[in-house]
Structure 1
Amino acid sequence: MQVVVVFFLFALLCSRLQSAQADIEFSREYKYSIDLFEGYKIHWTIVGDDFINLALEVVSLEWVGFGIAEPATGSMGGADMITGYVDSSGGHITDRWAVAKGVTPAADACQDWTLLSWQEDSETSTTVLELTRLLQPADTRQDRPILDDGVPTKVVGAWGNSDTFGMHKGRFTGAVNFFVDPSTLQEPLDQIKARSDVVSWALLSSSYPIPMQRTTYYEKCFEVPEVVQDAHVIAIEHQVDPSSEPYVHHFVVHGYTEQSCSRTSHMVYGWAPGSGPFVFPEEAGLRIGWGTDSEGAKFKSFRVQTHFDNPTLVPNLIDNSGIIAYYTSTLRQHDAGILQLGNPTVFYGSILPSGISKYVFNCPSSCTEEHKGPITVFRSSGHMHATGRQFYTEHRRANESAVRRTNMEFYDFNFQDFNNREVYIINPGDHLQTTCIYETDGTVIFGLGSEQEMCIDFIMYYPLSNVGNWGMCGFRSCGNVEFASAVNEYDRVFGTLDGAECSGISSPPPAAQFEPQSESNAGYSLLSFRIFILSSFLTSLFSQ
């Protein structure tokens, strides 16, 4: 009888050993899970209205990190991070914030994450850290809130070469909607592609040989297919040739009201590194077609301008990049357009000062008074080049009362997108002021070159017909420059919290907020517990 019992228990233990290698035993239940990168998975539960329980499951036996990225760009600079590791003494975490890519993130003055459990499995080379934190911590100057606003939260992740926090071995960026089941989500572009009334149209370079020079602007004209009489482009997807991707600096697309890219033009789309597919709101799109013209501009041709950057003069580069436009004859209520603020003509006479410098460009009330009516803004994207560090546009009513400030506190050229998703109204007579802050060596000027600088805020709006002046307002385009000089510091708030201000801000969430514990204890695996029970049982059995 003893032999049968021992065999049964041994078989049970072996089955648990096999399953333990495939499945992690967490200390609590998690509602959602998602693979963010190969070997990097997160699990989470929103607890009540205030807390998030988060588990990091990473194929790494060294330090691991996870962060809420700079909300406008999704970059490492300006990210709120947690790093941690497991060693013989237990699990360890540090709440951090990052000032820039390549700069070691500093420890927060206020440590707002609480470590609930930890595991390290040498057989699967996996580290698990289970954490909890307020969704909206009181410390918002070194911590980022996790908001239930319908917009996915931009995140970053990394893992290192040792337990000592330092240079990462691997990293990624992504986005997570923490308030929606990820298994039910479908990308907006995928939804559009699945529609039977939607047609795709490719506007691509055709084996273009990239010159052996630093900066090249290549333009190609595409005419709207003649079968299209009246339609709206409702989504645009970039297509970057993998073989030439390192040299594609950005795209700009202009629409023309006549064939062969002639007569009136409007900028209608732009892409730069970090941008994803663009899907228009349900009430607007780009009007195209050869039928009777609408009140606004109905575009009959498009010019795609590709900026190539080949600083090392690599020869024999061939490019087939461009965009895919998705259009439908099911018309929408409004025609959309882009208003360019800041310095839309690009050129400015002087060299940017060495060190930190600040440029403030105005689109004054006298310019917006010329609008035919209010415009609805649904996206915006600030654009600078490599020395750009901070970007924002302030919107004021005619009485100069501040309405909003769209802000990229930590600008990164490699993370550009139509980031601001707030829908708002610009009325005739409103004042718009765009500020760009740079850090240069004193040799940089404004211009079209990759090594030069720009300051443009691309604001997407509707209806198109309410804005004139070719969709531009700023320096040399009705507006002016208000300030252009060296400054001593950035206009940033994030990262400025002093340790003395932590009193009353940071406190671990009460135990009652945690989900009920499952079979695993913090830092103590279920498998180890079962081995202990089996060992005790066998000792008792054979001692009889």
Structure 2
Amino acid sequence: MTYALFFHLLLLLALATSSQGHRLGPKSRLRYSRFLDPSNVMFLRWDFDLEAEVITFELQVQTAGWVGLGVTDRYTNVGGDLVVGGVLPDGNVYFSDQHLVDEDTLEEDGSQDAELQGLVEDAVYTTMRFSRPFRSCDPHDQDITSDTVRVLAAYGQDDTLTLNPEHTFVKSIFLLQIVHPDDLDVPEDTIIHDLEITDVWPFTLPSHPAPFPSSHSRLAPLLVPTFSTMVHHILVYACGNASALPTGISDCYGADPAFSLCSQVIVGWAVGGTSYQFPDDVGISIGTPLDPQWIRLEIHYSNFHNLPGIHDSSGIRVYYSPRLRRYDMGVLQLGFFTFPIHFIPPGAQSFLSYGLCKTQKFEEMNGAPVPDIQVYGYLLHTHLAGRSLQAVQYRNGSQLRTICKDDSYDFNLQETRDLPARVEIKPGDELLVECHYQTLDRESLTFGGPSTINEMCLIFLFYYPRNNISSCMGYHDIIYVAHELGEEASDSMEGMMAMNNIEWTPENIKKAEKACKEAQQTVIIKTIDEVVENTTGWIPDIMPTPRGPCLESTGGKVEPQDKTPAGFRASPVALPGAGPSGPRALPLATLLVMQGALSWLLATLQATD
């Protein structure tokens, strides 16, 4: 009987140990990394577990003082959370989950939701490694989401916890990225070709058809460091093989409509983006008779200081291989048709614009059956007034899902992002893009247009298998909007001119937003061969995405909206991570209890024998 009890206890202890799970330990490799400051003093590594909703950070700073890492919002650091730690001269370690009471003062959270994994100091660096849940129930902890996250980092030159503006930095990072170029190696048979502007601008791109069927696997921006801050975006377009290509030199959006041809986006880069590598089974096909034989390279500049005599050679570096991939990718451009109907009132705390896409005509315009579209990635694009974007999918009149979104959009961090799971779009589905703007710093109307001081509302969906549809965008009936605002208008031009007559009070801003949403939308669908067809539709309502549960705090207050039974969940015994490691060490008290129990059992067994 005693042996049975002993075996049973050992089994329970084994189960207790294994139930601790696996997490990223102090020596596990973290997949992602960034410098957080211009001088490259602060280096961040991180990794995460989407299933467990836990993220692990490792911050390395060139200092012998304290270091801190957390999350803040776009407007102020006050209220931001900051996990701080350091090593005292006597070797003792301190570590605490805190928040900013004001710009200069830190206060410890009532709930300690960060878990220390390691804190060391050598002759050069202080390195702190810790994990925390994506979302705790502590109101002082900012959520880690799939949106752009503004990472707050700070350090001191000694162990006095005093914030210094010169040692405090905020950097926008897409923390929950799915793949990253650092993870992926370029195949040995990869060929590199640079599509770039020469010393002469404007520039006519010569054609370079591939000598064999091949597939793009990776793209990287080529930016001249001196002028990189002036490059607004770089786009590569495919030209339909039936297109009549222009000759000579002209503006991209000038009077000659021939220079607006070739509107099928293949790839692109925008401010803050890095290189992008396609999934292993997806690529851009080039060199076959069905592929475009010509492309157009377009670069937009923002030369706000009117600097003269600039000669640029920026562009896109293309990596391609003779090994064809399983799927040929395409890009579908969605959103608000940029010019000339789009407008945003001045002085708006919040203003929403909508662009509708109806896909029921895709097959007719494609000239062949359109298989279900498998979306694997996306790129979001507004200009400086943009605050958030989302693309929502509807089927048979019901909202199906939010395909992609960013509620914390940052113009300076525009990058191609992969979806955590591929999304299927069927013929007949409707797609809606919603863009949220803020214009409190503007005294006049903002119109849609290519300039950085204009606005756009675009989402590019990266999908397979490729079809001939290049864009599907909508715009509202501006005549209806003008009438709702008490203005007379008989055509679109008069409707837009009427917007200048409005006194843009908060009431009129909301009235205009409501009218824009309720107005009938014209949907413009274009193909790679510049075939255009219009249809109409109405903006459906968007049901908000429910917020996931938070991890129950060990103290502090639960947010009011989390007090329902489904609003929070108990903190797990261990915080599992994304990589392999050994079982988590048990607390010292638990080990002592186990040791005492085993000693008692051994003594009992010896007495029985």
Do the structures match in fold with TM over 0.5? yes
Is residue 235–residue 268 contact of structure 2 (8 Å, CA) maintained in 1? yes
Given the alignment, which residue of 30, 48, 54 partners 2:26? 30
Q: Which amino acid aligns with 2:354?
A: V
Alignment of 1:412-427 (within 5 A): 412-421=410-419, 422-427=421-426
Is residue 207–residue 320 contact of structure 1 (8 Å, CA) maintained in 2? yes
Q: Which amino acid aligns with 2:27?
A: K
Alignment of 1:50-89 (within 5 A): 56-60=59-63, 64-67=67-70, 81-85=81-85
Question: 1:205 maps to which residue?
Answer: 197
Question: 2:94 maps to which residue?
Answer: 91
Counterparts of 2:162 and 2:404, CA distance in 1: 37
Q: Which amino acid aligns with 1:515?
A: A
In structure 2, the CA distance between the partners of 1:439 and 1:501, relative to structure 1 (3 Å rule), is closer
Count of residues paired in the alignment? 451
Question: 1:409 maps to which residue?
Answer: 407
Is residue 375–residue 425 contact of structure 1 (8 Å, CA) maintained in 2? yes
Given the alignment, which residue of 338, 351, 355 partners 1:357? 351
Unaligned runs of 5+ in 2: 1-23, 247-260, 476-522, 525-533, 551-556, 576-582, 589-609
Alignment of 1:29-48 (within 5 A): 30-32=26-28, 36-37=34-35, 38-40=40-42
Is residue 63–residue 84 contact of structure 1 (8 Å, CA) maintained in 2? yes
Q: In the alignment, is residue 256 of structure 1 matched against residue 239 of structure 2?
A: yes
Counterparts of 2:178 and 2:455, CA distance in 1: 39
In structure 2, the CA distance between the partners of 1:84 and 1:240, relative to structure 1 (3 Å rule), is same
Question: 2:162 maps to which residue?
Answer: 164
Q: Which amino acid aligns with 2:191?
A: V
Counterparts of 1:280 and 1:174, CA distance in 2: 20
Is residue 110–residue 506 contact of structure 1 (8 Å, CA) maintained in 2? no
Q: In the alignment, is residue 323 of structure 1 matched against residue 316 of structure 2?
A: yes
| RMSD of aligned Cα (Å) | 5.0
Cα deviations by residue, 1:176-221 (Å, 9 ceiling, x for unpaired)? 89999x9xx9532xx22x422x221111111246xxxxxxxx5532
Q: Which amino acid aligns with 1:472?
A: C
Is residue 81–residue 97 contact of structure 1 (8 Å, CA) maintained in 2? yes
Cα deviations by residue, 1:239-290 (Å, 9 ceiling, x for unpaired)? 111111111111111112449956765211111022222222333322222x
Is residue 90–residue 118 contact of structure 1 (8 Å, CA) maintained in 2? no
Q: Does the residue aligned with 2:229 lie in a helix, a strand or coil?
A: helix
Q: Does the residue aligned with 1:359 lie in a helix, a strand or coil?
A: strand
Range with greater deviation from structure 2 (433-442 or 251-260): 251-260
In structure 2, the CA distance between the partners of 1:40 and 1:175, relative to structure 1 (3 Å rule), is farther
Question: 1:234 maps to which residue?
Answer: 217
In structure 2, the CA distance between the partners of 1:93 and 1:343, relative to structure 1 (3 Å rule), is same
Q: Does the residue aligned with 2:311 lie in a helix, a strand or coil?
A: strand
Is residue 135–residue 143 contact of structure 2 (8 Å, CA) maintained in 1? yes
Question: 1:7 maps to which residue?
Answer: none
Is residue 97–residue 112 contact of structure 2 (8 Å, CA) maintained in 1? no
Is residue 361–residue 433 contact of structure 1 (8 Å, CA) maintained in 2? yes
Counterparts of 2:80 and 2:455, CA distance in 1: 28
Alignment of 1:24-423 (within 5 A): 30-32=26-28, 36-37=34-35, 38-40=40-42, 56-60=59-63, 64-67=67-70, 81-85=81-85, 91=94, 93-95=96-98, 111-114=111-114, 116=116, 124=123, 126-129=125-128, 131-134=130-133, 137=136, 143-144=142-143, 156=151, 158-160=153-155, 163-165=161-163, 167=165, 169=167, 171=169, 187-188=183-184, 191-192=185-186, 194-196=187-189, 198-208=190-200, 218=202, 220-225=204-209, 228-258=211-241, 261=245, 265-289=263-287, 293-294=289-290, 298-355=291-348, 356-364=350-358, 366-367=360-361, 370=364, 372-421=370-419, 422-423=421-422
Query: 1:376 Cα shift?
Result: 1.2
Query: 1:436 Cα shift?
Result: 0.4
Counterparts of 2:574 and 2:125, CA distance in 1: 27
Is residue 137–residue 559 contact of structure 2 (8 Å, CA) maintained in 1? no
Question: 1:471 maps to which residue?
Answer: 471
Counterparts of 2:272 and 2:424, CA distance in 1: 27
Query: 1:374 Cα shift?
Result: 1.4
Q: Does the residue aligned with 1:406 lie in a helix, a strand or coil?
A: strand
Query: 1:457 Cα shift?
Result: 0.7
Counterparts of 2:115 and 2:42, CA distance in 1: 19
In proportion to residue count, which structure has more strand? 1
Q: Does the residue aligned with 1:65 lie in a helix, a strand or coil?
A: strand
Q: Does the residue aligned with 1:245 lie in a helix, a strand or coil?
A: helix
Identity %: 20
In structure 2, the CA distance between the partners of 1:219 and 1:437, relative to structure 1 (3 Å rule), is farther
Is residue 116–residue 132 contact of structure 1 (8 Å, CA) maintained in 2? yes
TM-score, scaled to structure 1:
0.67
Query: 1:174 Cα shift?
Result: 6.2
Question: 1:16 maps to which residue?
Answer: none
Alignment of 1:479-498 (within 5 A): none
Query: 1:84 Cα shift?
Result: 1.9
Query: 1:414 Cα shift?
Result: 0.5
Question: 1:535 maps to which residue?
Answer: none
Question: 2:448 maps to which residue?
Answer: 446
Query: 1:42 Cα shift?
Result: 6.3
Counterparts of 2:298 and 2:178, CA distance in 1: 39
Counterparts of 1:339 and 1:378, CA distance in 2: 12
Is residue 105–residue 163 contact of structure 2 (8 Å, CA) maintained in 1? no
Counterparts of 2:45 and 2:213, CA distance in 1: 47
Counterparts of 2:235 and 2:377, CA distance in 1: 16
In structure 2, the CA distance between the partners of 1:52 and 1:199, relative to structure 1 (3 Å rule), is closer
Counterparts of 2:104 and 2:353, CA distance in 1: 29
Q: Which amino acid aligns with 1:386?
A: L
Cα deviations by residue, 1:438-492 (Å, 9 ceiling, x for unpaired)? 1112422111111110001111112222x43x433333514668679xxxxx999
Question: 1:487 maps to which residue?
Answer: none
In structure 2, the CA distance between the partners of 1:131 and 1:398, relative to structure 1 (3 Å rule), is same
Unaligned runs of 5+ in 1: 1-27, 210-217, 485-489, 519-544
